[in-house]
Amino acid sequence: MFNDSDCLRILEQAMSTTADFAEIFQEVTESKSVSLLNGQVIRASTGFDSGTGIRLLAGTNSVYVYSSDNDIEVLLKLAKEAAAAIKGNDKGKIEALKDLCSTSKTTIEIDPMSVSKKDYVDFLRKSSDYALNYDPLITQAACGIAATTRTARIINSRGVNAEDTTKRIRLSIETIATKDNEKQSGRVAPGTMRGYEFINEYPVIEKTKDCCDTAIRMVNAGYAPSAKMPVILGNGFGGVIFHEACGHALEATSVGIKNSYFTDMLDEQIASPIVSARDNAVIDGEWGSYATDDEGNTSSDLLLIENGILKNYLVDELGGRRMNCKPTGCSRRQNYSYAPTSRMSNTYICNGESDVKDIIANTEYGLYCTQMGGGSVDTSTGDFNFAVNEAFMVRDGKIAEPVRGATLIGKGQEILKNIDMVGNDLKLSAGMCGSVSGGVPVTVGQPTIRVSSILVGGRES
């Protein structure tokens, strides 16, 4: 990492023309991973990545330059190019650098980087061996552990001098059941900012069994129907719909340029009155948490929706300039090769009052999605789509046969208003979110909820 005088030289070079703000982001990331397929260790890798990004702002005009070469002369040259490209009116000021503020949301007993790959392999074998001996229908078992340590230093012309370290580890288990020409999978992929103790404590056999059961159930299932119907979305990863259909439309990335259906709607009713939601980056040890964002701001617990009323947007520095409001500590990037922007962290619908059994009992006919796949949304139109990995029909208030191949589609702004029951079993689930500033670890979450009507795209009419 740079010393303060090198940083100052870069800032001075960057601010030598008409930028009103300059920022240096330097990052060092180490990674380590192991993957098993059908009991064989097929991949073991180690990587080291580091680089520096320099960002200049002049009003809402931005310039970003980056290099994997951290040599001071290389960066001074890039800063000079950036300064020549920025289009502002006046020369900005550089404030005195504050004392370094080092933070971390990682809560670690055993550092995953200090655990040998052999120990990773021994743990993964438990899952692999169990799955391959579970049932003749289970034909493949894949699993892996990936750990990273990332240290980011952020320095800017307002005197910010921050350093944040995150250590993350993620386990993945996937089992595949085969029947005739049909293959279906069951998977879990928990992630955490806790240490290797998370892996040691993980109920790996129980979870591998769940994966096998899902795969077997789905390979035996018939196709989902095609129709509009009430849909119950299970807790945990069911929150991916809220993440895609609402969360992205609350980011300054789209609101700031008025390319979101939630633009200019603060304090308006955007969801059913039984819906409240938060984006909370400060939960200790949670996969999507961080202490300091990639602009050097302290992370926050932000109330997004309260009883259906929109209370806050997710705002970064550049978005704040466009929206005339302050950043909320949510600016993130995959690494130095991306300029930062507003992103989610741990985003979830808060607990409601219904018991899950009542939600099911109150549904005469519908689809109960217990495991969601991924999805996407167009924040300008609200069009979203989600794949369902495991689902059951609900008939006469009871869970009926499993069905496969369902996709849920609709408009994000409509689905939020159609949530008519919210459960009390909130759960968070780890994932990766891809957007303009790259892939960042997030959690999605919700209690079990019911939406009165969603178009289910299946194959049976």
When asked if residue 160 is in the footprint of another protein (CB under 8 A), the reply is: no
Two tokens, residue 65: 């330059």
Of the candidate residues 48, 89, 201, 324, the single one contacting another protein (CB under 8 A): 48
Of the candidate residues 26, 33, 127, 347, the single one contacting another protein (CB under 8 A): 33
The SS3 of residue 198 is helix
Closest CB 374 distance from another protein, rounded Å: 4
Closest CB 249 distance from another protein, rounded Å: 12
Of 18 and 67, the one with the shorter C-beta distance to another protein is 67
When asked if residue 118 is in the footprint of another protein (CB under 8 A), the reply is: yes
Of 373 and 397, the one with the shorter C-beta distance to another protein is 373
When asked if residue 34 is in the footprint of another protein (CB under 8 A), the reply is: yes
Two tokens, residue 277: 């939601």
Q: Which of the stretches 230-238, 292-300, 346-354, 400-408 binds another protein when contact is defined by CB under 8 A?
A: 400-408
Of the candidate residues 17, 26, 62, 300, the single one contacting another protein (CB under 8 A): 62
Residue found under tokens 């978005």: 319
The CA angle 259-322-62, to the nearest 5 degrees, is: 100
Closest CB 362 distance from another protein, rounded Å: 24
When asked if residue 80 is in the footprint of another protein (CB under 8 A), the reply is: no
CA 452 to CA 55: how far, in whole Å? 46
Classify each residue of 4-20 as buried b or exposed e, where b means 16 or more C-beta atoms within 10 Å of its C-beta.
eebbbebbebbbbbbbb
Closest CB 24 distance from another protein, rounded Å: 15
Binding mask 358-397 for another protein (x = CB under 8 A): ---------------xxxx-x-xxxxxxxx----------
Count of residues engaged in binding another protein, rule: CB under 8 A: 82
What is the chain's alpha carbon radius of gyration, rounded to the nearest angstrom? Answer: 24
Helix 204-220 vs helix 117-132: crossing angle, to nearest 10: 40
Binding mask 401-420 for another protein (x = CB under 8 A): ---xxxx-xxx---------
CA 341 to CA 330: how far, in whole Å? 8
Of the candidate residues 176, 216, 440, 442, the single one contacting another protein (CB under 8 A): 176
Closest CA to 148 of 445, 441, 347, 444: 441
CA 372 to CA 66: how far, in whole Å? 37
Closest CB 274 distance from another protein, rounded Å: 25
Of 21 and 290, the one with the shorter C-beta distance to another protein is 21
- Contact (CB, 8 A) for 305 and 276: yes
Of 200 and 381, the one with the shorter C-beta distance to another protein is 381
Q: How far is CA 341 from CA 138, 248, 307, 347, in A?
A: 43, 12, 27, 16
When asked if residue 137 is in the footprint of another protein (CB under 8 A), the reply is: no
When asked if residue 47 is in the footprint of another protein (CB under 8 A), the reply is: yes
Closest CB 207 distance from another protein, rounded Å: 21
The CA angle 237-374-218, to the nearest 5 degrees, is: 80
- Contact (CB, 8 A) for 65 and 82: yes
Q: Which of the stretches 95-103, 115-123, 282-290, 420-428 binds another protein when contact is defined by CB under 8 A?
A: 115-123
Of the candidate residues 4, 68, 90, 395, the single one contacting another protein (CB under 8 A): 68
Residue type, 106: T
- Contact (CB, 8 A) for 375 and 244: yes
When asked if residue 428 is in the footprint of another protein (CB under 8 A), the reply is: no
Scan residues 299-338 and list those touching another protein (CB under 8 A).
337
Of the candidate residues 178, 298, 362, 452, the single one contacting another protein (CB under 8 A): 178
Of 135 and 425, the one with the shorter C-beta distance to another protein is 135
Of 292 and 334, the one with the shorter C-beta distance to another protein is 334
Provide the H-helix boundaries in 300-406: 317-323, 356-361
Scan residues 207-266 and list those touching another protein (CB under 8 A).
224, 226-228, 257-259, 261
What sign for the dihedral angle of Cα 445, 449, 455, 456? Answer: positive
What sign for the dihedral angle of Cα 83, 87, 90, 96? Answer: negative
